Amino acid sequence: MPDPVTLTFLGTGGGRFATITQKRRTAGIRITSNETNIHLDPGPGALVYSINVGLDPQKINAVLLSHSHPDHYTDAEVLIEAMTKGTLQKRGILAAANSVLNGNESCEASISKYHQKMPSQTINAKPGMVFHVGSLKIAVIKAQHTDPDAVGYRFSTADYGDFAYTSDTEYYEDISKNYMGLRLLILCVMRPGGKPWKGHMTTDDAINILKATKPETAIFTHLGMQMIFRSPQKEAARAARESQVPVTAAVDGMRVIVGEQIRIEKPAAERQAGLNTFFNR
């Protein structure tokens, strides 16, 4: 049987105050299989929490960054150094939005030219591009954010279908067309319903996307303080009821295994609290 893909949610927080307070970690997502070891959006804590859960940063073969905001890029340079064996081997892939590599009118570059030269390949990730990391085909998806170069990513497996990560984005016309035909959709839902914020997604936006795309399952992550105070679990439950798609509010340390079935494993404390996937038909 082909090897499944495992997504480890090292951090599920997002936005300035979740980052500053660490009410939720901001360490990003590790994506692993036999051929692939990617760190996606390694914000503050990515290095430490990787090591804490036994995910050796020196085994990474790609670092992906969606845009040039600290909760998405802060630990990227040290992970690049780990990926390249302390800069002794030119290896791996760095794929990052243009703002991360070159800056733009609203953001400075967040990866030094020195670090950009360390990997075997550095990709300026723009919507419409496709590249490969191990057995995964990765398509770059448009996002609409306060960093105008922000992007999302869609991952295609050879055996288990597609999954995608929206990154920070507000709802825009035709956003759903980028996320059709998925098994798993990871939505960065920083705000609860009724609390819009420019460049970001609310539960209401997520519901509209889920109604249109109907993935096999969906996960809310990159949770801001207002979402955390409102209760991500309750927001996920409402999204599931209204969209008729299974929705899970991610928690720090959660793992998602994408194989013949999609299996969600929460840390023991969360399982004991009964914070399971919400879905009511």
With tokens 């991610």, the residue in question is 250
Domain coverage including residue 81: 5-272
- Cα angle: 22, vertex 61, 133; to 5 degrees: 110
> In tens digits, what is the pLDDT along the chain, a chain of 281 residues?
788 999 999 999 999 999 999 999 999 999 999 999 999 999 999 999 999 999 999 999 999 999 999 999 999 999 999 999 999 999 999 999 999 999 999 999 999 999 999 999 999 999 999 999 998 999 999 999 999 999 999 999 999 999 999 999 999 999 999 999 999 999 999 999 999 889 999 999 999 999 999 999 999 999 999 999 999 999 999 999 999 999 999 999 999 999 999 999 998 765 434 444 443 32
For residue 81, being part of any structural domain is answered with yes
For residue 280, being part of any structural domain is answered with no
**Distance between CA atoms of 7 and 90, rounded to whole angstroms?**
26
**Distance between CA atoms of 153 and 83, rounded to whole angstroms?**
21
Which residues, 6 or more positions from 125, have their beta carbon under 8 angstroms from its beta carbon?
64, 65, 95, 96, 97, 98, 140, 151, 153
Q: What is the DSSP letter of 232?
A: H
For residue 110, being part of any structural domain is answered with yes
For residue 142, being part of any structural domain is answered with yes
**Distance between CA atoms of 202 and 175, rounded to whole angstroms?**
14
Q: What is the pLDDT of residue 270?
A: 53
For residue 277, being part of any structural domain is answered with no
Q: What is the pLDDT of residue 196?
A: 86
Q: What is the pLDDT of residue 93?
A: 98
For residue 207, being part of any structural domain is answered with yes
Q: How many CB atoms lie within 10 A of CB 188?
A: 25
Domain count along the chain:
1
CATH of the domain at 16: 3.60.15.10
**Distance between CA atoms of 176 and 20, rounded to whole angstroms?**
32
Q: What is the pLDDT of residue 228?
A: 96
For residue 152, being part of any structural domain is answered with yes
For residue 51, being part of any structural domain is answered with yes
Q: What amino acid occupies position 220?
A: F
Q: What is the pLDDT of residue 138?
A: 98
| 232-235 CB contacts, 8 Å cutoff, 24+ apart | 233/275, 233/278, 235/189, 235/192, 235/193, 235/203
Query: What are the distances in angstroms from CA 63 to CA 43, 107, 126, 157, 165?
Result: 12, 20, 15, 18, 14
Q: What is the pLDDT of residue 119?
A: 98
Q: What is the pLDDT of residue 15?
A: 93
Q: What is the pLDDT of residue 89?
A: 95
